Structure 1
Amino acid sequence: MIGWYSVCMLFESEVDGQPSEEPLCEESVRLIKAANSDAAKMVADSLGVELEHAYSNPDGKTVRWVFKGIVDLQDLCESEIVSGAEVFSRMFKKGQPGR
């Protein structure tokens, strides 16, 4: 059965091709419709590469956003997405980093 998956993807910036010790990173949550989690992962990996891009910053340096991988993949257990549908959740204890 085809269903929906949420995938959290990690991207990392490089400036002029030089990785930084503390690079700027982005997590992006996307929806993917697929037959199973393996198919969803394949789609997500392809999408991640497609989303890589580069541009010149105000200093004239080239900033490149590189797909680093999938952080999390969740089966939404839904065949249809409707208003209010949960697309991502994360359990944590109060006081953990990031909260």
Structure 2
Amino acid sequence: MSRMFAAVLVYEAASSRRGHEPLFEETVTLLAADTAEQAAERARAHAEARETSYHDEDGDTITWSFRHLVDLVEVGDPLGDGAEVYTRHFRDYRAYLAVEPLAS
């Protein structure tokens, strides 16, 4: 019987433009799997399938690459209104604010 897992995945966007600072994206992706190991394999496969390159409006090449599977947790049932999809704990609130611009 499949269970639901939330995978926290990090991607990086790089550009061929000189001086470009990389942009990172963190996603929480839901995956059905029988085991945590299978969910991790599916998460990596999903992330690698999202890798892409394209040219932006200035002709620079933008490349999105999978960087890291940060975390993988089983999602509790039922999955409905008010369900918590992903939870993480941390001790250093200042460090969190330093990397989370939407919190300020």
**TM-score w.r.t. length of structure 2:** 0.79
1:16–1:94 Cα change, 3 Å: closer
Q: Look up the SS of the partner of 1:97 in the other structure.
A: helix
8 Å CA contact retained: 1:17, 1:64: no
What residue is the counterpart of 1:6 in the other structure?
6
- Alpha-carbon distance between aligned partners in 2 of 1:97 and 1:66, rounded to the nearest angstrom: 25
Higher relative contact order, structure no. (Cα contacts within 8 Å, ≥ 6 residues apart)? 1
Q: Look up the SS of the partner of 1:92 in the other structure.
A: coil
Q: Which runs of 4+ in 1 moved over 2 A?
A: 92-96
Q: Tell me the C-alpha RMSD between the 2 structures.
A: 2.1
**TM-score w.r.t. length of structure 1:** 0.83
- Residue 61 in structure 1 maps to residue 60 in structure 2: yes
Q: Where does structure 2 lack aligned partners over 5 or more consecutive residues?
A: 98-104
Q: Which has the higher helix share?
A: 2
